[in-house]
A and B are shown apart, each in its own frame.
Chain A
Amino acid sequence: MSGSDGPPLLEMLEITKTFPGVRALDGVTFDLSEGEIHALVGENGAGKSTLMKILGGVYPYPEYGGEVRIKGEAHRFANVKDAESAGVAVIFQELSLVKDMTVGENIFLGREPRSYGVIRWSELYSRAQNLLDDLHLPIDPRTPVRNLGIGQQQLVEIAKALATKDTRILVLDEPTAALTDTEVETLYSILAKLRGRRVGMIYISHKLEEVFHLGDRITVLRDGRTVSTHATKDIDKQRVISLMVGREVGQLFPKPEHQPGDVVFEARNITVRDPVVPGKRLVDNVSFKVRRGEVVGIAGLMGAGRSDLLMGVFGAHSGRTSGDLLIEGKPVRVSSPGEAIKNGLGFVTEDRKRYGLVLDQTILNNMTLASLHRLSGRYVTNIDAEASAGEREMRNLRIKAPNVFTAVGTLSGGNQQKVVVAKWLLTQPVVLFLDEPTRGIDIGAKQEIYAQINKLAETGLAIVVVSSELPEVLGLSDRVLVLHEGRLTGEFARAEATPDAVMACATGHSIKLVRD
């Protein structure tokens, strides 16, 4: 495929990367030619971003194994700067611009043209202007970045990556996630121009339309391994989808049959607006129902609006959420988490360290935080009442700690997660939301959480599970909902929910909704 003679522009050979307890990359091999757009696809957590962080010098050698060669020459980057000087520029999903500086300042941040330490501003801005003109971006380099839309910021980021003349390898991680249609067109024309300059590009995207439109070749990663690399013309979307998911739902999920009862929870026309971008909807007009004793899974790729849907329903996006809720048939108004709890909603939030736990405090204080009034006393706390409730949960969920007065920050991830679950069970919810309940915990703890979810459903609790791991959603749920770009694109009964069908809806490739 490289076409020209000599070694290819980039080779990544047998790359391995291990995080404590997790093998993120396991012998990945990848190559890139000059002037090529090579698309990299895979499920959440397949290892795409980790691979690119190795290429970009974010994980320096020897934190990874294997070899990175550019033009046949082996490189071991010690940091991002090293990678940049070898001609590698990575544009990550999270924007890395300084919002209060101008476009020009950002483009030349850290390599300002200067004489004797004094910045030559006119040169800086004229060079920035040339660069922007070259890319046909109608942006004044003296505009503060804050004043630009997210999409334009993304394009500035690309301009920044190209400011170093010798960028030979450009990595774009979900570049169109925040772009409008016209901005996407601009991006495409920039990429075409770069192709003409023989820049090699690695393009990561969840949107298969784009991947097929742009990519010369497509590589599929799964569970930290390269599944295959194909020329785009030799493969179709269906095949890519099955390569992405091609994995059996193993023995992890012995699923007892539930007998779902009446509808206890209904959300109608939930819309959540973006706090930053006016007019943008993170969740767009989503409605769903949950029955007593039923586990409803919500699948979708990163940025599909899964967490925002739950946060919105729970009253945590107050002021930018609209829609109606019915709990046990009665319409309720939820404009704060406090009201949500009062109405019987419980929410095991994602990212336990950020949203779930007060790490300094004891297991007991964390467990009782959302139900203190009911458990302990309206005004004065009753430590005995709290401790007996806490110890009961600790036994039920098998939390491993010396006692309930252990600081929660000293526990393992799995046990921390169980504390968060216990916190919400103590509020005695009618409906329990779980957002990424098993992220970053070991397999044993995962299984215990799965068993717990099934047990709770059997007692009649209505449960909604969001997870990035498709097998987890499929294995746990009686019914699966699929979101794509904030909209509901699929609804499947357990029997119909095959990985391929769900992934097709999650990538926006097909739509399957049940009407009733």
Chain B
Amino acid sequence: MEKQASEPVVDRPPVTADSAPQAGAGRFRLPTDALRAYAMVIALIAIWVYFYWTNDVFLDPRNFSNLMRQTAVTGVLAVGMLMVIVTGQIDLSVGSVVGLAGGIAAIAQGWLGWGLAPSIAAGVGVAMAIGCLHGSLVAYANIPAFIVTLGGLLAWRGAIKGMSKGNTIPIELEGFRAIGQSYVAPVVGYAIAAVAVAAIAWLALRRNAARKRYGLKPENPLNLVMRVLGPSVIVVGFIWMLNSYAGVPIPVIILLAVALAGAFITQNTTFGRYLYAIGGNPDAARLSGINIRRHILAVFIIMGALTGVAAIIYTARVGSASPDAGVLLELDAIAACVIGGASLMGGRGTVFGACLGALFMATLDNGMSLNNVQDYIQDIIKGVILVAAVGVDMIGRRSG
């Protein structure tokens, strides 16, 4: 350790991108970055095959629809959590805030007789305000995010227990419940699929044109076709599965919207670029003129807003707000990001990965419940898988 730190920085021979990060033993070398992305998809397919093999109900349209609705809440939280983690922070309070925000929305429509929009606004608004508070304490009072949100985890759970006086509050507004329980008409689903396929093709062509412009080798045509066909088949198959039950569930539509927005923010805005820089090297970011405090505050406000959205979906899906709603959701969201390739050190991770991670976590829940795996064993398995996923990833990085 000491030796390494005290050696002067010396030149290494230049390494080309093609030969850079690799893992493998002896002569068998694989590019780890690509491996990481594919490994996630392969792992997901593997557990799907496993659950389908042990219980053929698993891939029934009905259960598939259910699985996707379960993914929605974790997925929306994971998109927010991804931005928090990329910035090098953490939010442990989202489960409690889901409980509180859902409870407040339920109280507003049930006990206070507010309409749909004001009730939802109350829930989401409270969650955003909490995010703003957490962000201010982290960014401006220099309290570590772990501590601020650990405090939040306790305090906000206490708040909803007190406000609801321990009661479960039913959702009476039909429109509210629809957010969690309804479906869009199959036609709309197919329309979405058509737009998505068009977008995939357009993006692939544009990417290829850009490669040419920057002097990179253009994809060979077969690759290009695969790049368009592969995702398109998945999208159409996905919509078809959902339509063959009752249509695309509204929570899934919300998740898609949130994920697209999240991907755009992280990949195509200056704000997103700064988040990765702050997480990757805070000193370099600061000296490049980036206002680190303001960005951390903003990220927590976004996390708060998305927690509010998740709370509304969750409460609407269950049809009531109980004081212990959302317990442990923060861990699902963090696990989703980490399984999806995000680094808790900051600076690494993608929204797409986080969403796949959320699907992975929801699959475990859904599949094990179908198989009547006992509750405590489910917890143990989820814990082991989380640690193992990161362990495998670290081994890959070290040898690369």
Contacts and interface: CB of A to CB of B under 8 A. Distances in A.
Interface of A: 19-22, 24, 49, 53, 58-59, 80, 314, 316, 336-338, 340-342, 347, 349, 351, 353-361, 365, 369-370, 372-373, 376-381, 383-384, 387, 391, 400-407, 410-415, 423, 439-442, 445
Interface string B8-23: 1111111111101100
Nearest to A409: B20
14 contacts: A19-B10, A53-B6, A58-B3, A347-B287, A351-B9, A356-B284, A360-B280, A365-B277, A369-B288, A373-B270, A387-B213, A403-B214, A407-B17, A413-B12
Nearest to A373: B270
Given A369-B290, A401-B14, A405-B216, 11 more contacts: A22-B8, A314-B287, A337-B286, A338-B290, A355-B284, A360-B347, A361-B276, A378-B270, A401-B16, A412-B14, A415-B14
A400 B6 CA distance: 28
Contacts, number: 145
B244 interface: no
Given A355-B284, A360-B280, A377 B270 contact: yes
A369 B285 contact: yes
B64 interface: no
A412 B20 CA distance: 12
Given A354-B283, A410-B15, A58 B2 contact: yes
A261 to B, nearest CB: 27
B210 interface: yes
Contacts of A369: 273, 277, 284-285, 288, 290
Nearest to B14: A412
Interface residues of B, number: 43
B271 interface: yes
B281 interface: yes
A356 B280 CA distance: 11
Contacts of A381: 268-270, 273
Contacts of B2: 58, 80
A413 B9 contact: yes
A440 B288 contact: no
Interface in B222-277: 268-271, 273-274, 276-277
Interface of B: 2-3, 6-18, 20-21, 210, 213-216, 268-271, 273-274, 276-277, 280-281, 283-291, 347-348
A38 B15 CA distance: 45
B10 A21 contact: yes
A44 B307 CA distance: 54
A273 B242 CA distance: 65
Contacts of B18: 402
- 8 tightest CB-CB pairs across the interface, nearest first? A440-B9, A338-B289, A358-B280, A370-B288, A341-B289, A410-B15, A413-B11, A369-B288
Contacts of B285: 358, 369
Contacts of A404: 214
A379 B270 contact: yes
Contact of B17 (A338, A378, A402): A402
